[in-house]
A = this chain, B = another copy of it.
Amino acid sequence: MTHYRSAMASSTVEDYLKQILLLSAAGDELVSMGDLATALDVVPGTATTMVKALAAEGLVTHRPRYGVNLTAEGRRVALGVIRRHRLIETFLVNVLKMDWTEVHAEAELLEHAISDTVLDRLDALLGHPAADPHGDPIPTRHGKVDAQVYATLATCLLEKPLRIVRIVDQSPQFLEFAEQSGLRPGELLRVTDRNLAAGLVTVRKGPARAVTLGLAAAGHILVAPER
């Protein structure tokens, strides 16, 4: 009866498409069934079955035994889901004052239930934000994303002033750690030392106490040069 979004995809379908987009790193590399299954917390056989169905609907292209990626239509749907997810997260943090380390799971739930009408109101209420509280870009209603390539704490220049633009890890543990260490989007800092042999990166905020983190973790924190 109610046709909120054109050609209503089930929330399962939406999750598959979203995850394929996120795993292909907004690029066009094939996503393996194993990775997809892990991300969606199903067994690989389930992913295969579902992907074949999605391919039959023209939402993905499947190269059996190699992987899957999105068609233009699949990408359109996936971007819609991501837009909803990120606007909801922004709302939860900016309006409901929830902790930015806990909103991901909440948004995961709501992203499939919110209508375009409500979403547009929310978007307006929030002032049409370009990024969510994690610093992830919010696609527009028409599926455009600010494609910008950032350095990470693992790759950037030493001693240069940097601003954190984004944390690309959604796990509560990691976000909790980042929060505790003052590594939030918007914060100003510099990398004072990077020991690739030991896999350690040391960062400093102004003259204050240093924080040391592993190379892998450092790679999840995107930064832009400042001043």
List A residues at the B interface (Cβ < 8 Å): 1-2, 4, 41, 92, 95-98, 102, 105-106, 109-110, 112-115, 117-118, 121-122, 125
B113 touches A97 (CB 8 A): no
Residues of chain B within 8 A of A118, CB atoms compared:
92, 96, 98, 106, 110
* Chain B residue at smallest Cβ distance from A124: B96
Interface class of chain A by DSSP: loop
B112 touches A125 (CB 8 A): no
Number of this chain's copies in the assembly equals: 2
A109 touches B115 (CB 8 A): yes
Residues of chain B within 8 A of A92, CB atoms compared:
118
Distance to closest chain B CB from A108 (angstroms):
8
A125 touches B95 (CB 8 A): yes
Out of B110, B115, B125, name the residue touching A114 (CB < 8 Å). B110
Question: Which of A41, A96, A114, A125 has its CB near the most chain B CB atoms (within 10 A)?
Answer: A96
* Chain B residue at smallest Cβ distance from A4: B109
B115 touches A2 (CB 8 A): no
